[in-house]
Amino acid sequence: MTLRIRTIARLTGIREATLRAWERRYGFPRPLRNESNYRVYSREEVEHIRRVARLISEGLAVSEAIAQVQTASVGGLPPLERLVERFWSAVMVMDADAAERVLGEAQAAMDVEAYCDTLLLPLLREMGSRLDIAREHLASALIRQRLRALLLAEDAHPEGPRVVLACPERDLHEGGLLALGLHLKRRGWRVTLLGADTPTEALQAACQQVRPELVALSFVRRREPADFEQVLRASVGACVPAPVVVGGPGAREHLKAIFSVGAQYADSLDELVALWQQVRGASNST
């Protein structure tokens, strides 16, 4: 169950304005945002606020009370959740160094794919509901830097199939694309990453140069149907003769348009590889 800030103020005795001020200054409490962009709080968050209020009444400064409650609540969590909460706490006070240390500790404790799939990607997905724009930019940049470094650190496979990865023009969210590149490279693919906001002309030039066996496009931002089809049609034309596979949350509602322009849709790495194998098998049989 989630509760609105007005209810939280009534249940805890802490004014709404005070809760908002604590959130801005200390990163506490940490409400989510619902579809209408209103703050919503969990029952657990209510208890944390009550504990802070009690400690303040016992003579602690606000910052000391919040630090004590945050330390206690994070310390009792499982290791992965503890890392996640420490990361959010650092981001909320815009302490990039502390957030970077958390990511470094996690990387040292986890294998590459677990680090990518169970920590970095979930953090990226949660940002929109947890953070304002400034904090989201900070956190996103840190995670994308980590994903890009992981991708570059993987050994190249000179004989593997070649894939070009890109986000189409005006799509700036490349985190999922970086993770896809990492997984493909670990499976022996040669990855050419064009990244975010790739113009059609750049996509065409890359395909002419490296002659990929597959092009994967990641659509994250929501587009109107006509805009989506126009951008995708141009992208597919730029990639000829390479097959194009489309993925990402911004593509799921446009399946008819995807198939109508000659592309395919994949919701996962395994689906993408399976589609490529089907295309390869069909070309080998002709």
Q: What is the pLDDT of residue 48?
A: 84
| pLDDT per residue as tens digits for the range 234-262 | 999 999 999 999 999 999 999 999 999 99
Encode pLDDT of 209-234 as tens digits.
999 999 999 999 999 999 999 999 99
DSSP H helical segments within the chain, as ranges?
A: 5-12, 16-26, 43-57, 62-75, 79-92, 96-109, 112-114, 121-130, 133-153, 175-186, 200-210, 225-239, 255-260, 269-285
Average pLDDT of the residues of the chain: 89
Half-sphere exposure of 107 (CA within 13 A, CB side): 13
The pLDDT score that the predictor gives to residue 106 is 94
Q: d(Cα 141, Cα 79) in Å, to the nearest integer? A: 24
pLDDT the model gives residue 231: 95
Q: pLDDT digit string (tens) for 42-88?
A: 777 887 888 888 888 888 888 888 888 877 665 555 788 878 888 88
Supply the pLDDT for residue 40: 82
Which one has a higher pLDDT value, 67 or 199? 199
116-144: string of b/e by CB count within 10 Å (b at 16+)? beebbbebbeebeebbeeebeebbbebbb
Q: What is the pLDDT of residue 14?
A: 87
Distance CA 193, CA 181 (A): 7
User: What is the rounded CA–CA span in Å between residue 188 and residue 254?
Assistant: 31
Measured CA to CA, the distance from residue 244 to residue 236 in angstroms comes to: 6
Q: Which of 120, 121, 126 is nearest to 107 (CA)?
A: 120
More confident residue, 180 or 37: 180
Residue 154 confidence (pLDDT):
93
- Pairing state between β 244-247 and 214-218: parallel
pLDDT in tens, 82-123: 788 888 878 877 889 989 999 999 999 999 999 999 999 999
139 conformational bin, left if phi > 0, alpha if psi -120 to 50, beta if neither:
alpha
The pLDDT of residue 158 = 87
Determine which of 28-37, 134-143, 195-204 has the lowest per-residue pLDDT on average: 28-37
pLDDT at residue 284 in the model: 64
Instruction: Tell me how crowded residue 192 is: count the other CB atoms within 10 A of its CB.
Output: 17
- Residue whose C-alpha is closest to residue 198's, from 159, 155, 244, 160: 244
In order, the DSSP letters of 243-266 are -EEEESTTTGGGHHHHHHTT-EE-
The span from the CA of 20 to the CA of 7, in Å, is 14
pLDDT of the residue at 66: 86
- Angle at the Cα of 110 from the Cα atoms of 108 and 111, rounded to 5 degrees: 110
